Amino acid sequence: MSKNMHVYQIIARASCDHGVDTMFGLMGDANLFMVDSFVRDCGGRFVPAAHEGSSVLMALAYAHVAGKVGVATVTHGPALTNCITALTEGARGHIPIVVLAGDTPVDTPRHLQSIDQRELVKASGAGFEQVRAPDTVSKDVARAFYRAQVERRPIVLNMPVDFMWREASHETRVLDVFTAPGGVAQGDTLDEAIGMIASARRPLILAGGGAIAAKDMLIRLADRLEAPLATTLKAKSLFNGHPYNIDIFGTLSTPAAYDLIARSDCIVCFGTGLHDFTTDGGKLMKNKRVVQVDIEPTAIGGGLHPDAALVADAGLTAETILYWLDEAEIPSSGFTRDLDIETLTLHPTEPDKTAKGCVNYVHALERLEEALPKNRVLVTDGGRFMTEVWCRISVPDPQSFVATTNFGSIGIGLQEAVGAGLAAPDRPVVLFTGDGGFMMGGINEFNTAVRLGLDLIVIVANDSAYGAEHIQFLDRKMDPSLTEFHWPSFAEIATSLGGQGIKVHTKEELETAIAALETREGPILIELRLDPHDVPRMRI
């Protein structure tokens, strides 16, 4: 039954109709009454961020960990321009969120904060949906949520401020989202792909983020072929516990796994766009057949052109391939029979050359891997430090891993850690961030984590430099001093913001910090003082 109410109330109510119980944001002229109604009238939870872009980042991580559409809200003009990096991160990561963004009054074209918000959003790769009139608000909100799920990207719903106190009728409207599996592979290309797989002597199964739901079927196919299993970074830990899981494929592989991949003669890829880091710029795919399976046609051929491409559902395609291999009585390859998985998954360590007053980074990671809570959600910021974390710090499953690197930005990890913590309130969130990234975007939202009482463990890899640039100067035998900084103590900052901060300069201090994890109450920050000349090189 329809009921007249103000537009701001309709937007709040329509959001609740879509199952939204948590909204991240920062209030301003165009959204404050909507937020108030969401909390007071709908019983929703509003999470106020310190920066508009942070609210979008929080919603992104919330969506990934919770497995549902995330929601953020900001006001108009500079509030939305502050969100562009976050929107781009979400668009490139294919993460479904809705951003309820205010807009300046339609009848005030020279408003100080006026900007063409449609063009702004389009540049980020996110989608744009307009609230067209007070009478269409329920439909416009429904359309935004539908598009976020189907298009798998952020959708900005543009809300003119002068509509907010207009009255209109609201009817619950939630559009069906068609999520049935896509096409089943068939035709000549399928025959060619099966022929390549059947004739392979050293096949390997590679799963990306688009194949996580097909885990069980991919394992069955790999076992039938006696083929090793590997994942891209986004599917990290998908095959945990399998005897022939060689972990991450590409530049993040161990040297032994890299050699094994190079020796394979057929890579069967499910749900991965085959990024240059996955293929090592194409090197790992040379002199071998490549079969690529993805439900998204745009994912095919983006990094390299496969020998056979199947635009189809990963699980159904693996099941189809398995069926025809059995029908044709194709023998297993035997590729996994003599593999030493322990060797294949062991990352080497370098001699400890760390300067006095600093802790060795790899040693610290190995101890933290042992000591951190096993049921953790892992979030990583961008930076020089991150590849060693990806390789040495484990997670229970891909949904428990948030890598904020879709746009190559730094300074967005702490914000996403907050969103992850609210999506998994009964689990600890572990964030690894660099000193530059924490200074750029971590300090303001660390206080947000304190206010929310999150179980957050922040590890700051502090080499007092922008490390990726530092190493480039050193490689060219140039003075790296422009990349070096005398930051304040991050541990002391964490304490001043209401959390707990611990400095680590030695192995002994690292053990003290690890012991403190057992008695933590609220956010804790461990500052690892690193030698900028002794941090391992990035592997990408």
CATH number at residue 369: 3.40.50.970
Note whether 327 and 310 are within 8 A (CB): no
**pTM of the entire predicted model:** 0.94
Percent of the chain with pLDDT over 90: 84
Predicted confidence band at 151 (pLDDT cuts at 50, 70, 90)? very high
| Residue 375, pLDDT score | 96
- 3-state class of 331 per DSSP? coil
> How many other β-carbons are positioned within 10 Å of the β-carbon of residue 265?
16
| Residue 455, pLDDT score | 98
The verdict on 324 and 367 lying in the same domain is: no
Of 163, 128, 536, give the one whose Cα is nearest residue 350: 536
Question: Which of the listed residues 311, 344, 377 is the one where a domain comes to its end?
Answer: 344
Looking at the DSSP bridge assignments, the partners of residue 74 are: 101
The verdict on 32 and 141 lying in the same domain is: yes
The verdict on 383 and 238 lying in the same domain is: no
| Residue 179, pLDDT score | 61
Q: How many Å apart are CA 294 and CA 232, to the nearest integer? A: 14
The C-alpha torsion from 94 through 96 and 99 to 100, rounded to 10°, is 150
In the predicted model, what is the mean pLDDT of residues 18-31?
97
| Residue 253, pLDDT score | 95
- 3-state class of 74 per DSSP? strand
The verdict on 38 and 157 lying in the same domain is: yes
Range of 223's domain? 188-344
The verdict on 307 and 378 lying in the same domain is: no
The whole-chain average pLDDT of the chain stands at 94
Residue 407 within any structural domain of the chain: yes
Residue 512 within any structural domain of the chain: yes
Q: How many Å apart are CA 168 and CA 134, to the nearest integer? A: 6
Q: How many Å apart are CA 40 and CA 24, to the nearest integer? A: 16
pLDDT at 185 over 90: no
Residue 183 within any structural domain of the chain: no
Which burial class, exposed, middle or buried, applies to 1 when counting CB atoms under 10 A from its CB (0-12, 13-18, 19+)? exposed
For 145, the enclosing helix (H) or strand (E) is: helix 137-151
Q: How many Å apart are CA 416 and CA 405, to the nearest integer? A: 11
Place of tokens 């892992």: 378
The verdict on 142 and 228 lying in the same domain is: no
Q: In total, how many domains does the chain have?
A: 3
Torsional sign, CA 267, 273, 278, 284 = positive
Predicted confidence band at 467 (pLDDT cuts at 50, 70, 90)? confident
Note whether 407 and 356 are within 8 A (CB): no
Question: Which of the listed residues 316, 344, 372 is the one where a domain comes to its end?
Answer: 344
Residue 352 within any structural domain of the chain: no
Of 77-86, 177-186, 368-377, 433-442, the poorest mean pLDDT is in: 177-186
Predicted confidence band at 431 (pLDDT cuts at 50, 70, 90)? very high
The verdict on 455 and 329 lying in the same domain is: no
Predicted confidence band at 187 (pLDDT cuts at 50, 70, 90)? confident
Residue 61 within any structural domain of the chain: yes
The verdict on 510 and 399 lying in the same domain is: yes
Residue 288 within any structural domain of the chain: yes
Question: Which pLDDT tens digit goes with each residue over 309-357?
Answer: 999 999 999 999 999 999 999 999 999 998 888 889 989 887 788 889 9
| Residue 91, pLDDT score | 98
Question: Which pLDDT tens digit goes with each residue over 512-530?
Answer: 999 999 999 999 999 999 9
Question: Which of the listed residues 139, 170, 201 is the one where a domain comes to its end?
Answer: 170
Residue 181 within any structural domain of the chain: no
The verdict on 425 and 312 lying in the same domain is: no
How crowded is the C-beta side of 354, counted as CA atoms within 13 Å?
A: 21
Question: Which pLDDT tens digit goes with each residue over 241-294?
Answer: 999 999 999 999 999 999 999 999 999 999 999 989 899 999 999 999 999 999
In the predicted model, what is the mean pLDDT of residues 154-169?
96
Residue 248 within any structural domain of the chain: yes
| Residue 168, pLDDT score | 96
CATH number at residue 244: 3.40.50.1220
The verdict on 454 and 324 lying in the same domain is: no
For 341, the enclosing helix (H) or strand (E) is: helix 341-344
pLDDT at 1 over 60: no
The verdict on 365 and 291 lying in the same domain is: no
The verdict on 205 and 155 lying in the same domain is: no
